[in-house]
Amino acid sequence: MSNSSEQDAAIRSAAFRWLDDQVQKHGDILPRGVLAEGFNFHNNQIRLLGPQGIFKPAILNIPLSITTIPNGPYDDGYLTNTLIKYRYRGVDPQHRDNRGLREAMLNQVPLVYFYQVVKGKYLCIWPVFIVNDDPGGLTFTVQVDEAGMSSYPQMEKPSYSGIGEYENNSRRSYITANVRQRVHQSAFRERVLRAYREQCAMCKLRHSELLDAAHIIPDGEPDGDPIVPNGLSLCKLHHAAFDRGFLGIRPDYVVEVRQDILHENDGPMLLHGLKEMHEKRIFLPRNASQRPSESLLERRYSRFLDAN
């Protein structure tokens, strides 16, 4: 391995370890400012993304990251359940950025994939590999490798041996399909919590670590789409109570607690956490288009009544 290749591998390994540290601190979704600032490597500042979707720090010869912005200037997205398509930079296959990704494919060099779930916040997935180049369609095909689900393996000596072999396509396809679901779930959560201004719709708890995006119509059912009008920002207690039918929400946005719960005595948590929610109106997004769909709430409330 040449000195340049060794340095490339060392920087990528350091980037993956740094990303793992950031995810441990901040969670799966990282702010753009953190990624754009990056980390110091032997007195070189290594930024992980820039103004363009294909990003290469000056110290590297091959791009370090690619970024998808939904509804952005490029039609990036999922080609199938198991593959990610990534558009060329512009329409010239020989643009330096496109050549860089082509070189990453030929040498099976791992990259970082950033998916913008809401403006300024990104789901970070690594390592990913370019596995196909389609000049006619102006697209690359990307797959995710296993190490990127949580951390990159520590390496005493930088090496990509065994990471990028084509015989791993079946495993990568499975992992990429799981990442696809993770992207949708993360985007749904971020959009719902942002609509509710990072607080629980019932108790107004503001600690985002304890908040979930609850589906009104469950995921996987008809109309169970991961869109804000089918979501509620709920703390973990009220999410569990909503999902298990301890309480329901009427189409007029008023909470109704199950009668047997109202008549139960089980300490202050039951009293203040659940019983005091009865007949209270939930907190709503300011934007009317982001408020819970009344028709979906009516369907969910009917299930609540039928179960009691």
According to DSSP, residue 149 is labeled G
User: Of 165, 239, 225, which Cα lies nearest the Cα of 191?
Assistant: 225
Cis geometry, peptide bond prior to residue 127 (ω within 30 degrees of 0) = yes
Q: What pLDDT, on the 0 to 100 scale, is given for residue 148?
A: 41
User: Of 192, 222, 215, 218, which Cα lies nearest the Cα of 283?
Assistant: 192
Q: What pLDDT, on the 0 to 100 scale, is given for residue 166?
A: 47
**Rounded to two decimals, what is the model's pTM?**
0.74
Mean pLDDT by groups of 10 residues along the chain of 308 residues: 76 94 89 95 94 93 92 54 83 94 94 91 91 93 67 36 52 72 84 96 94 94 92 97 96 96 87 93 97 97 93
Residue 83: which residues within 8 A CB-CB, separation 6 or more? Answer: 141, 142, 143, 173, 176
Q: What pLDDT, on the 0 to 100 scale, is given for residue 248?
A: 97
Q: What pLDDT, on the 0 to 100 scale, is given for residue 63?
A: 96
Q: What pLDDT, on the 0 to 100 scale, is given for residue 242?
A: 97
Q: What pLDDT, on the 0 to 100 scale, is given for residue 301?
A: 97
Q: What pLDDT, on the 0 to 100 scale, is given for residue 251?
A: 97
